[in-house]
């Protein structure tokens, strides 16, 4: 017999256990008062172990559901269900995987079947179970392990499929029909998080359709999200969600960027320029997507392009508190540097977050300006990202204005160039529905994304150009095709200045430089 422990699943006694308690509930400080002991900070204590103790499980919960809790973090090597006590032990292959799981669930309370459950390190370093008495759990575990092992060779990205039936998978496959207004990974996260902890999302385009795989921590959350959201429009009259269960039960995301994200692994690289979806996953997924053309599925809404723009402008986001595209389009910006600011500089900076229609610097208060965006979503985005940022050395304040539009000066009236109409500007980033620019909206950052670089322009040319805006270039990296690059300034303020000065800068050969904020670092 191991000197660690031997668990007899009939009596739930631990013989020779490390903590010296004779009963399994002694694992979690046996004091007969579970509810008091397992509040917040106490549930994650103890020395790390690859065996995790899970408590307060709903009575009808299955082995599959408990195993699914651990799958996103690594291979599950053993499980012991103590149904009479509403507890389970889950053993992961490595202590590192267990630590990642505990850390994640300390920030996001895990739920099974709508009930919060509690996870902590076990005092036991491994599980030794009697397989003849634990047959059902072992069968489920073996099915998961077999598929995990079979799928390991997928180049860097593992997809595990188990005995989980489609209706129990924690992974949803999502197709968006009528995508007249862009849907970002962050929008999906915000909508689907209403139904439980979203662990991972992969987005990609297949057959000219925006698609996503989204993994919950719990299959029940996936079921609730599907019931509530399938067939719903994200925006008015467009962007219809078509949701089904995936046969995949685990996604291993390689990169955290605007195309894919693993919320359990903030340490992943951004992998700029890399495809979000591994070809091996794409092949596995192709079999599933063909099933989506089912009778009764929502047919595309025949909205002509002109109406699409109107639908986008009038769109109100589902489940987005305080964000309405039909809301106020005019922003009031104050505490500007009145010696430096111009309508053009405001157009360029605020144009990162939407299509600026008009700018008016106030005649009697030149440190303030009104900026009219194309819709309420864009004004909200610009306010969220730019309020509190530094522009020309001053921290600017951005709020929603009570004005509905920005008035142009009466004809013949000279207002010293303080008002400008940009309604027909060719520089609008978001005029085209479905533009990639919608996928690349990030807060101001020291790292800038440069594109539309002609072949003749070298790294040194760009370093010199950006240094001339008054800042320090800390790092530079060309993408493989040399048409795009990342450039890092010393501070966010310097990057804002560089973007204002150099977005649309003429680099020659009919190439105008495109500059935007990146969430990557070099």
User: Over the stretch 248-268, which tens digit does the pLDDT of each residue have?
Assistant: 888 989 899 988 999 888 888
Closest-CA residue to 354 (of 430, 425, 420): 430
Identify the bridge partners of residue 421 per DSSP, sorted by sequence position: 358
Of 381, 399, 426, the domain-final residue: 426
Measure the CA–CA gap between 371 and 419, rounded to whole angstroms.
10
Pair 135, 99 in one domain: yes
For the chain, percent helix, then strand, then coil, each to nearest 5? 30, 25, 45
- Mean pLDDT (whole number) for 169-190: 86
Residue 260's Cα: distance from chain center in Å?
7
Of 207, 236, 262, the domain-final residue: 262
Pair 401, 342 in one domain: yes
What confidence tens digit (pLDDT) does each residue in 457-508 have? 999 999 999 999 999 999 999 998 889 999 999 999 999 999 999 999 999 8
CA angle 145, 150, 156 (to 5 degrees): 105
Q: How many CB atoms are closer than 10 A to CB 62?
A: 18
The terminus-to-terminus CA distance of the chain in angstroms comes to: 53
Measure the CA–CA gap between 290 and 209, rounded to whole angstroms.
13
Q: Which two tokens stand for residue 462?
A: 């760009």
273 in a domain, yes or no? no
H-only helix segments in 215-314: 219-229, 279-289, 305-314
Measure the CA–CA gap between 417 and 462, rounded to whole angstroms.
31
Measure the CA–CA gap between 514 and 503, rounded to whole angstroms.
5
Phi first, then psi: what are they for 211, rounded to 5°?
-135, 160
Contact 99, 74 (CB under 8 A): no
Pair 444, 384 in one domain: no
Three-state SS at 497: helix
375 in a domain, yes or no? yes
The DSSP output letter for 194 is G
Contact 476, 487 (CB under 8 A): yes
472 in a domain, yes or no? yes
Measure the CA–CA gap between 296 and 292, rounded to whole angstroms.
10
435 in a domain, yes or no? no
360 in a domain, yes or no? yes
Q: Which two tokens stand for residue 78?
A: 């053993």
Measure the CA–CA gap between 306 and 431, rounded to whole angstroms.
12
Closest-CA residue to 150 (of 162, 137, 140): 162
Torsion sign over Cα 450, 452, 457, 461: negative
Pair 418, 357 in one domain: yes
Identify the bridge partners of residue 242 per DSSP, sorted by sequence position: 175
497 in a domain, yes or no? yes
Lowest model confidence (mean pLDDT) among 149-153, 208-212, 308-312 = 308-312
Pair 338, 421 in one domain: yes
Pair 196, 249 in one domain: yes
317 in a domain, yes or no? no
Of 229, 262, 295, the domain-final residue: 262
What confidence tens digit (pLDDT) does each residue in 271-292 have? 755 544 444 444 444 443 333 3
Pair 338, 412 in one domain: yes
Q: What is the pLDDT of residue 427?
A: 93
Q: How many domains would you assign to the chain?
A: 4
Pair 180, 237 in one domain: yes
CATH number at residue 68: 3.30.70.330
Largest CA distance in the chain: 97
Round the average pLDDT of the chain to a whole number and report it: 76
Pair 115, 188 in one domain: no
Global pTM value: 0.44
What confidence tens digit (pLDDT) does each residue in 369-419 have? 999 999 888 888 899 889 999 999 999 999 999 899 999 888 777 778 899
Expressed as residue numbers, the domain containing 211 is 171-262
Pair 111, 182 in one domain: no
Q: How many CB atoms are closer than 10 A to CB 33?
A: 9
Pair 422, 448 in one domain: no
| Separation in Å, CA 175 to CA 291, 292, 303, 319 | 12, 9, 18, 19
Torsion sign over Cα 477, 479, 482, 483: negative
Q: Which two tokens stand for residue 350?
A: 């605020």
| Separation in Å, CA 16 to CA 26, 46, 88, 319 | 13, 19, 19, 53
Torsion angle of C-alpha atoms 203, 205, 209, 213, degrees rounded to 10: -30
What confidence tens digit (pLDDT) does each residue in 114-160 have? 789 999 999 999 988 776 656 777 777 776 665 544 443 333 333 33
Q: Which residue has the higher pLDDT, 67 or 312?
A: 67
Q: What is the pLDDT of residue 304?
A: 30
* 208 Rama sector, left if φ>0, alpha if ψ -120 to 50, beta otherwise: left
Q: What is the 3-state secondary structure (H, E, C) of 18-86?
A: CCCCCEHHHHHCCCCCHHHHCCHHHHHCCCCCCEEEEECCCCCCCHHHHHHHHHHHCCEEEEEEEHHHC
123 in a domain, yes or no? yes
């Amino acid at each position: 017999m191991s000197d660690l422990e031997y668990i007899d699943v009939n009596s739930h006694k631990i013989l020779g256990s490390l903590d010296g308690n004779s009963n399994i509930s002694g694992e979690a400080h046996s004091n007969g008062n579970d509810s008091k002991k397992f509040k917040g900070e106490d549930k994650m204590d103890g020395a790390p172990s690859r065996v995790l103790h899970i408590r307060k499980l709903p009575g009808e919960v299955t082995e599959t559901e408990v195993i699914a809790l651990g799958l996103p973090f690594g291979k599950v090597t053993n499980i012991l269900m103590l149904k009479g006590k509403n507890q389970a032990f889950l053993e992961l292959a490595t202590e590192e995987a267990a630590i990642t799981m505990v850390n994640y669930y300390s920030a996001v309370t895990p739920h099974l079947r709508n009930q919060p459950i509690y996870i902590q390190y076990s005092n036991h370093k491994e599980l030794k179970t009697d397989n003849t008495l634990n047959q059902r759990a072992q069968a489920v575990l073996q099915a998961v392990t077999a598929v995990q092992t079979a799928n390991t060779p997928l180049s860097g990205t593992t997809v595990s499929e188990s005995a989980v039936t489609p209706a129990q998978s924690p992974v949803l496959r999502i197709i968006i029909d009528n995508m007249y207004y862009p849907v970002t990974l962050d929008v999906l996260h915000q909508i689907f998080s209403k139904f439980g902890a979203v662990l991972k999302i992969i987005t990609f385009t297949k057959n000219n359709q925006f698609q996503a795989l989204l993994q919950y921590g719990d299959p029940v959350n996936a079921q609730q999200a599907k019931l509530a959201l399938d067939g719903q429009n994200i925006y008015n009259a467009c962007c219809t969600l078509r949701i089904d269960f995936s046969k995949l039960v685990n996604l291993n995301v390689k990169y955290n960027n605007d195309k894919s994200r693993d919320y359990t692994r903030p340490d992943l690289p951004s992998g700029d320029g890399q495809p979000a979806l591994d070809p091996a996953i794409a092949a596995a997924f192709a079999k599933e997507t063909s099933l989506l053309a089912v009778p009764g599925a929502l047919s595309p809404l025949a909205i002509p392009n002109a109406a699409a723009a109107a639908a986008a402008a009038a769109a109100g986001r589902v489940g987005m508190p305080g964000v309405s595209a039909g809301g106020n389009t005019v922003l009031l910006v104050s505490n500007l540097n009145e010696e430096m600011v111009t309508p053009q500089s405001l157009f360029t900076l605020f144009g990162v977050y939407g299509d600026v229609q008009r700018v008016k610097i106030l005649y009697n208060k030149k440190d303030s300006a009104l900026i009219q965006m194309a819709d309420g979503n864009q004004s909200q985005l610009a306010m969220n990202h730019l309020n509190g940022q530094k522009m020309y050395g001053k921290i600017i304040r951005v709020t929603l204005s009570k004005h509905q539009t920005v008035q142009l000066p009466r004809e013949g009236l000279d207002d010293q160039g303080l008002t400008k109409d940009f309604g027909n500007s060719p520089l609008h980033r978001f005029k085209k529905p479905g533009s990639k620019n919608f996928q690349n909206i990030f807060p101001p950052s020291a790292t800038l994304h440069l594109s539309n670089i002609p072949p003749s322009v070298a790294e040194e040319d760009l370093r010199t150009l950006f240094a001339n805006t008054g800042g320090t270039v800390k790092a530079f990296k060309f993408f493989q095709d040399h048409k795009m690059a990342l450039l890092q300034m010393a501070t966010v303020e310097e990057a804002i200045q560089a973007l204002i000065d150099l977005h649309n800068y003429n680099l020659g050969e009919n190439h105008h430089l495109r500059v935007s904020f990146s969430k990557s670092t070099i």
